[in-house]
């Protein structure tokens, strides 16, 4: 393509120029690598042993490698492997992009996880090397077998229901003419703005054994929300908004042409819906299944609060690591958790990569309203209203709880709970710094990777995609431990810095922006980019002027998602924050565990208000309406 | 194209070279130096009998900062305590909330570059483990010397216990009324069928708090007796929670009739205005000891030592009891009315949590096999 491009008058032939650029690049890379390599691995003389003869003491020194030679070797491979591809050698920009992506993923995804695996395989603290003893013991424990089974039950049920409801809601709110769509859309995705464990907390206040609705209003006694039903319930509340966002992004950008063609050919609206509309959103649906499955099996906060002792892999991994001091068994359980996630990911990947889903073409028309028979339209509308109303009650109860003396007993209005928040201001500031940086950088990284993986062809693309998406499948606790294991020792000393938390959030929450970007890209006809290239624009210019504007929705999806998840994350935070970088959610969870519902509610309420304000600011800055930020 | 291949080859070779460079070479270098022979002169120090003076010795300002791990304080109280310490020593204190397991993992992971100075709070078992791994350093300060010998301190000074946490029964008066029962006053009471489905306790397999109960019962009834007891109690247990303080909170919220948690956590719920009754067993209650130790390689050693001494002053211990209700380990602290001291609670005779820590794996495995996995 590039070779055929008409070029401006020049002294060098295009091939010469290509080679010069290539040589310069290689030189810069070698310099960088030597610079980084010598910092990552150093040989130091350390004291080996001492010998005292008379009044003379001899100190024997020994050279010791500080740092990880294995990591440096991996990084070198990451630079060298893409050079083997002729296709990449011909396009320096693409080459550097691939190399950068590989290096970042090695540093911040593969290496920390490898460290967890090494730890998980260690049979005991004093045994060096690898052994399968831990895994054998693992499958002899009835708890492990049961936890694995329970985890699958919760994951599959949540993924199925969340995607089903999410698809119906997304369809109703994006493509039909039901009233109040703007408001419904905002309210349906409301749970995205709070930490997942706040949902459990509010559900127990409302529907628990002493819940305001179940006990006080309906008078139901001897019923319990604790258990698998409670877990599925709260997980659905957290995952449905995500499903709605992912699927409605595709509905919104879907061209009307295909459906019109089907209708013109005499297809019944329902038939068109089934055979044309839904197949077009397949990638988004599978993404929704994948993310809600992974989200529900890797969360530990909700099952801890509402599970009533129902054992799941994530909670058991958390307990083994945090309560039982058994890092090895915990890491091993974490590895078990990774397996179903990776299987789900592989399956989704296989299915979506087989077909083409182009719907945005040069002259596309999008966002037209579909006519549906009333008996379908109004029940769908009812579903959306129910979800919205439910969320209003749920979050309303948090605000009411924060404003009263003691939820459940004394409903006198008071400001005591709000005053209790003053001590948490520094932690709030820390959380904001982390979330804003991670959001913006993460949005850029995800859009960059989406372009690379979704659009470019190069060897090893699937592996890159796999590594980038993998992190979402890893429980936050495992991520936290992995980062500490990988980057606390010399020569890094990154723990206790904002840097490590920000990086962890970027790479842990990358997949949403990435998958939204790829899903959106699958619908953009490559001819748009090819036209730009053929007209002589460089690949970089094509990206900034054609691809990026088309992907901006996915970019904002990434920014908002990472920002919100960083503000509300608990599981990685407990490991990665430190004296000077203490985060708000860590304080909040502790308050929920040790204090009264009302004090905890004040924390949750403050966090929700801050996120809403931040979204408001973001909407001002970007010029998008508040609703558009949510619509993605 | 030939040129091109050559470039690739050279680049590859360079990369390989840069990769292969840092191989570990073991070599011995002889360094000789004069050893300064230190003569240690034992100066007989007159140990003054500690006289409790109303005004504690004016401390010398140290400055700098101090990072505490563990920290189980209410934020408001935390502010008060740290401010008074800062006023005295000029040290700015940061406290990182974490459970004992989190703290332990962090300290282990950060052992090459400690981020914290003091592990403050969490059960003494963490402190014992840390000392065994060489992650803490001994400090026999004024606090350590004040403590009686026995379960509350490490004989070598690696840790010192600054509070007792005693288990208690939390009862919801409303729920008790609904089922027509009284709040139990002994372990045997818990076997009464009237409490069926009304007892909440943490799982010993998930919570250190609940292991305290299991080991205490073993001390009380003998190991087999304790398991026999628990099997009978199991019929009344509604759920085994994963958090140690959840049972007390659930009883306080009126969700279940009885929750077994730490008494100080239950008292805190009472302070917040929740209607919850706190009872102790006549047979004796198990307890934990909250410890404090200084990390090996602490960056702010002087401040850390000052903090440890500060924790064992009467004023700190009194304030800690007033607000968090944990029982002081040093003698002669006057307690606020309505809070419990050692004289109000019967502890299980001869129970030492540190000794039981060694049996934890075995007992928890047995509990899992005989009770936990059958549910």
Report pLDDT for B30: 44
What distance in Å separates the CA atoms of residue B85 and residue A562, rounded to the nearest whole number?
39
What distance in Å separates the CA atoms of residue A504 and residue A112, rounded to the nearest whole number?
10
Report pLDDT for B31: 43
Q: Nearest Cα to A345, choosing from A311, A276, A298?
A: A298
Tokens of A336: 């078990």
Where in chain A are all domains bearing CATH 1.10.3720.10?
A: 147-204+230-352+413-631
| Residue A201 φ then ψ, to 5° | -55, -50
Distance from CA of A243 to the nearest CA of B (A): 30
Residues of B in contact with A596 (CB under 8 A): 269, 272-274
Q: Yes or no: say if A143 and B368 are a contact pair by the CB < 8 Å rule.
A: yes
Report pLDDT for A352: 67
- Averaged pLDDT for residues A493-504: 84
pLDDT at A431 over 90: yes
Distance from CA of A561 to the nearest CA of B (A): 27
Write the residue in A327, A493, A579 that is nearest to B105 by C-beta: A327
List the beta strands (DSSP E) in A186-318: none
Q: What is the dihedral of CA A247, A250, A251, A256, to 10 degrees?
A: -160
Query: Could you tell me if A615 lies within 8 Å of chain B, comparing CB atoms?
Result: no
Tokens of A121: 């395989």
* Pair type for strands B258-262 and B277-279: unpaired
- Interchain proximity B4–A64, CB inside 8 Å: no
Report pLDDT for B51: 44
Residue A128 burial (CB count, 10 A): 8
pLDDT at A4 over 70: no
pLDDT at A295 over 50: yes
Report pLDDT for A626: 54
Between residues B56 and A20, the one the model is more confident about: A20
Q: Yes or no: say if A421 and A491 are a contact pair by the CB < 8 Å rule.
A: no
- Averaged pLDDT for residues A11-35: 78
Q: Yes or no: say if A349 and A366 are a contact pair by the CB < 8 Å rule.
A: no
Best mutation site among A309, A428, A593 for testing chain B: the one with the most B CBs within 10 Å?
Answer: A309
Per-residue pLDDT tens over the stretch A187-220: 898 887 777 788 888 998 899 888 888 888 888 7
The string over A401-415, giving b where at least 16 C-beta atoms fall within 10 Å of a residue's C-beta and e elsewhere, is: bbbbbbbbbeeeeee
Distance from CA of A129 to the nearest CA of B (A): 18
pLDDT at A87 over 60: yes
Residues of B in contact with A41 (CB under 8 A): 22
The string over B15-36, giving b where at least 16 C-beta atoms fall within 10 Å of a residue's C-beta and e elsewhere, is: beebbeebeeeeeeeeeeeeee
| Residue partners of A378: CB distance under 8 A and separation at least 6 | none
Best mutation site among B77, B198, B242, B373 for testing chain A: the one with the most A CBs within 10 Å?
Answer: B242
Report pLDDT for A323: 66
Residues of A in contact with B299 (CB under 8 A): none
Query: Could you tell me if A51 lies within 8 Å of chain B, comparing CB atoms?
Result: no
Whose tokens are 């050893």? That residue is: B35
Report pLDDT for A299: 80
pLDDT at A10 over 60: no
pLDDT at A623 over 80: no
Q: Yes or no: say if A430 and A577 are a contact pair by the CB < 8 Å rule.
A: yes
What distance in Å separates the CA atoms of residue A616 and residue A626, rounded to the nearest whole number?
6
Query: To the nearest whole percent, how much of chain A has pLDDT over 90?
Result: 14
- Averaged pLDDT for residues A224-240: 92
Q: Yes or no: say if B51 and A67 are a contact pair by the CB < 8 Å rule.
A: no
- pTM, two decimals, is 0.75
Tell me if ipTM is over 0.85: no
Report pLDDT for A525: 76
Per this entry, what is the length of chain B? 375
Report pLDDT for B39: 42
Mention the CATH class of domain B65-164+288-343: alpha beta
Q: Nearest Cα to B290, choosing from B264, B315, B270, B269?
A: B264
Place A322 in a pLDDT band, splitting at 50, 70 and 90.
low
Q: Nearest Cα to B146, choosing from B352, B320, B329, B335?
A: B329
Residues of A in contact with B72 (CB under 8 A): 594
* Pair type for strands B258-262 and B199-202: parallel
Place A250 in a pLDDT band, splitting at 50, 70 and 90.
confident
pLDDT at A151 over 60: yes
Report pLDDT for A533: 82
Query: Could you tell me if A46 lies within 8 Å of chain B, comparing CB atoms?
Result: no
Residue A268 burial (CB count, 10 A): 11
- Interchain proximity B115–A579, CB inside 8 Å: yes
Beta bridge partners of B289: B164
Between residues B76 and A403, the one the model is more confident about: A403
Q: Yes or no: say if A238 and A292 are a contact pair by the CB < 8 Å rule.
A: no
Where in chain B are all domains bearing CATH 3.40.190.10?
A: 65-164+288-343, 165-282+356-374
Residue A368 burial (CB count, 10 A): 13
Q: Yes or no: say if A285 and A163 are a contact pair by the CB < 8 Å rule.
A: yes
- Averaged pLDDT for residues A419-441: 89
- Averaged pLDDT for residues A398-403: 91
Report pLDDT for B98: 72
Beta bridge partners of B169: B260, B279
- Interchain proximity B15–A76, CB inside 8 Å: yes
Tokens of B274: 């929740």
What distance in Å separates the CA atoms of residue A96 and residue A98, rounded to the nearest whole number?
5
Domain formed by B165-282+356-374, architecture: 3-Layer(aba) Sandwich (3.40)
Per-residue pLDDT tens over the stretch B128-163: 889 988 899 999 998 898 898 888 899 999 999 999
Burial class (CB in 10 A: 0-12, 13-18, 19+), A257: middle
Q: Yes or no: say if A504 and A572 are a contact pair by the CB < 8 Å rule.
A: yes
Residues of A in contact with B79 (CB under 8 A): 423
Distance from CA of A525 to the nearest CA of B (A): 35
Query: Could you tell me if A226 lies within 8 Å of chain B, comparing CB atoms?
Result: yes
What distance in Å separates the CA atoms of residue A206 and residue A326, rounded to the nearest whole number?
36
Distance from CA of B277 to the nearest CA of A (A): 15
Domain formed by A147-204+230-352+413-631, architecture: Orthogonal Bundle (1.10)
pLDDT at A358 over 70: no
pLDDT at A396 over 70: yes
* Sites in chain B below the pLDDT cut of 70: 1-59, 72, 74-75, 101-102
Burial class (CB in 10 A: 0-12, 13-18, 19+), A311: buried
Tokens of B154: 């490490």
Per-residue pLDDT tens over the stretch A552-599: 767 777 787 788 888 888 878 877 877 668 889 888 887 777 777 888
H-helix segments, A5-132: 14-40, 69-83, 86-90, 92-105, 111-121
Report pLDDT for A441: 94
Between residues B233 and A484, the one the model is more confident about: B233
Residue A177 burial (CB count, 10 A): 11
Question: Which string of DSSP letters, residue by residue, matches B12-58?
Answer: HHHHHHHHHS-------EEEEEEPP-----------PPPP--SSPPP
Report pLDDT for A11: 63
Residues of A in contact with B19 (CB under 8 A): 37, 72-73, 76
pLDDT at A351 over 90: no
Judged by DSSP in three states, A44 sits in: strand
- Averaged pLDDT for residues A277-286: 81
pLDDT at A367 over 60: no
Distance from CA of A117 to the nearest CA of B (A): 15
């Amino acid at each position: 393509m590039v070779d055929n491009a008409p070029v401006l008058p020049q002294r060098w032939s295009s091939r010469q120029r290509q080679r010069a650029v290539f040589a310069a690049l290689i030189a810069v890379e070698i310099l960088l690598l030597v610079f980084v390599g010598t910092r990552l691995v150093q040989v130091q003389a350390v004291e080996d042993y001492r010998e005292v003869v008379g009044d003379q003491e001899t100190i024997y020194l020994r050279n010791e490698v500080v740092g990880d030679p294995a990591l440096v070797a991996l990084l070198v491979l990451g630079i060298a492997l893409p050079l083997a591809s002729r296709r990449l050698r011909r396009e320096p920009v693409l080459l550097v992009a691939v190399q950068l992506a590989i290096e970042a993923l090695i540093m911040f995804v593969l290496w920390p996880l490898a460290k967890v695996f090494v730890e998980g395989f260690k049979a005991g603290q004093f045994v060096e090397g690898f052994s399968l003893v831990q895994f054998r013991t693992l499958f002899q424990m009835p708890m492990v077998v049961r936890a694995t089974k329970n985890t699958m039950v919760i994951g599959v049920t949540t993924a199925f229901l969340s995607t089903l409801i999410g698809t119906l809601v997304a369809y109703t709110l994006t493509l039909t003419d039901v009233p109040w769509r703007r408001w419904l859309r905002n309210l349906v995705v409301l749970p995205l703005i709070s930490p997942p464990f706040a949902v459990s907390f509010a559900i127990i206040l409302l529907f628990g054994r002493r819940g305001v609705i179940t006990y006080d209003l309906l008078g139901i006694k001897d019923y319990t929300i604790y258990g698998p039903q409670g877990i599925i319930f709260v997980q659905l509340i957290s995952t449905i908004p995500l499903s709605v966002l992912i699927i409605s992004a595709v509905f919104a950008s879907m061209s009307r042409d295909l459906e019109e063609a089907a209708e013109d050919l005499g297809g019944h609206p329902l038939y068109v819906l089934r055979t044309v509309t839904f197949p077009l959103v397949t990638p988004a649906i599978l993404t929704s299944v994948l993310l809600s499955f992974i989200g529900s099996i890797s969360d530990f906060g909700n099952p801890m609060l509402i599970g009533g002792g129902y054992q799941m892999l994530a909670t058991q991994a958390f307990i083994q690591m945090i309560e039982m001091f058994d890092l090895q068994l915990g890491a091993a359980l974490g590895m078990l958790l990774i397996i179903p996630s990776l299987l789900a990911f592989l399956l989704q990947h296989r299915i979506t990569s087989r077909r083409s889903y182009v719907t945005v073409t040069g002259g596309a028309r999008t966002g037209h309203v579909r006519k549906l028979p009333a008996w379908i339209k109004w029940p769908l509308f009812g579903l959306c209203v129910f979800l919205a109303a439910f969320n209003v009650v749920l979050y309303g109860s948090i605000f009411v709880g924060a404003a009263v003396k003691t939820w459940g007993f004394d409903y006198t209005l008071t400001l005591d709970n709000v005053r209790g928040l003053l001590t948490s201001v520094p932690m709030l500031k820390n959380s904001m710094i982390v979330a804003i940086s991670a959001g913006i950088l993460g949005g850029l990284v995800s859009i960059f990777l989406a372009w690379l993986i979704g659009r470019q062809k190069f060897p090893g693309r699937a592996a890159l995609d796999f590594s980038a998406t993998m992190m979402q499948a890893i429980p936050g606790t495992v991520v936290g431990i992995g980062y500490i294991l990988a980057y606390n020792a010399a020569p890094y000393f990154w723990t206790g810095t904002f840097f490590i938390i920000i990086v962890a959030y970027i790479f842990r929450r990358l997949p949403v922006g990435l998958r939204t970007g790829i899903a959106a890209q699958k619908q953009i006809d490559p001819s748009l980019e090819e036209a730009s290239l053929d007209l002589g624009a460089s690949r970089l210019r094509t990206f900034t002027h054609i691809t990026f504007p088309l992907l901006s929705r996915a970019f904002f999806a990434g920014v908002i998602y990472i920002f919100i998840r960083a503000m509300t994350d608990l599981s990685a935070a407990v490991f990665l924050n430190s004296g000077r970088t203490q985060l708000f959610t860590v304080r909040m969870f502790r308050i929920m565990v040790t204090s009264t519902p009302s004090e905890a509610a004040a924390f949750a309420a403050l966090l929700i208000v801050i996120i809403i304000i931040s979204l408001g600011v973001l909407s001002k800055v970007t010029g998008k309406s508040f609703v558009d930020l949510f619509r993605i | 194209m030939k040129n091109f291949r050559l470039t690739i080859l050279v680049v590859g070779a360079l990369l390989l070279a840069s990769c292969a460079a840092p191989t570990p070479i073991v070599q011995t270098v002889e360094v000789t130096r004069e050893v300064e022979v230190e003569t240690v002169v034992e100066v007989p120090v007159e140990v003054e009998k500690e006289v409790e003076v109303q005004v504690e010795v004016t401390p010398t300002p140290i400055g700098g900062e101090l990072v505490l791990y563990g920290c189980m304080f209410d934020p408001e109280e935390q502010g008060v305590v740290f401010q008074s310490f800062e006023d005295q020593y000029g040290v700015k204190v940061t406290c990182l909330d974490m459970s004992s397991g989190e703290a332990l993992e962090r300290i282990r992971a950060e052992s090459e570059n400690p981020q914290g100075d003091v592990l403050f709070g969490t059960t003494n078992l963490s402190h014992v483990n840390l000392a065994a791994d060489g992650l803490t350093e001994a400090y026999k300060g004024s606090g350590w010397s004040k403590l009686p010998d026995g379960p509350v301190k490490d004989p070598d000074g690696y840790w010192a216990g600054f509070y007792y946490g005693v288990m208690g029964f939390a009862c919801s008066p409303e729920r008790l009324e609904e089922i027509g029962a009284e709040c139990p006053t002994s372990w045997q009471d818990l076997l009464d069928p009237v409490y069926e489905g009304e007892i909440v306790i943490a799982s010993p397999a998930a919570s250190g708090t609940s292991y305290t109960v299991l080991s205490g019962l073993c001390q009380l009834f003998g190991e087999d007796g304790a398991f026999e007891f628990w099997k009978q109690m199991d019929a009344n247990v509604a759920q085994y929670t994963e958090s140690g303080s959840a049972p007390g909170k659930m009883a306080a919220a009126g969700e279940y009739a009885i929750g077994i948690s730490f008494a100080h956590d239950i008292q805190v719920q009472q302070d917040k205005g929740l209607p919850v009754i706190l009872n102790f067993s006549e047979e004796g209650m198990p307890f934990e000891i909250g410890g404090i130790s200084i990390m090996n390689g602490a960056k702010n050693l002087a401040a850390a030592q000052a903090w440890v001494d500060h924790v064992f002053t009467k004023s700190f211990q009194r304030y800690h009891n007033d607000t968090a209700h944990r029982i002081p380990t040093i003698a002669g602290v006057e307690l606020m009315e309505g809070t419990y001291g050692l004289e109000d609670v019967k502890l299980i005779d001869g129970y030492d949590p540190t000794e039981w820590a060694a049996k934890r794996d075995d007992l928890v495995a047995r509990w899992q096999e005989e009770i936990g996995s059958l549910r």
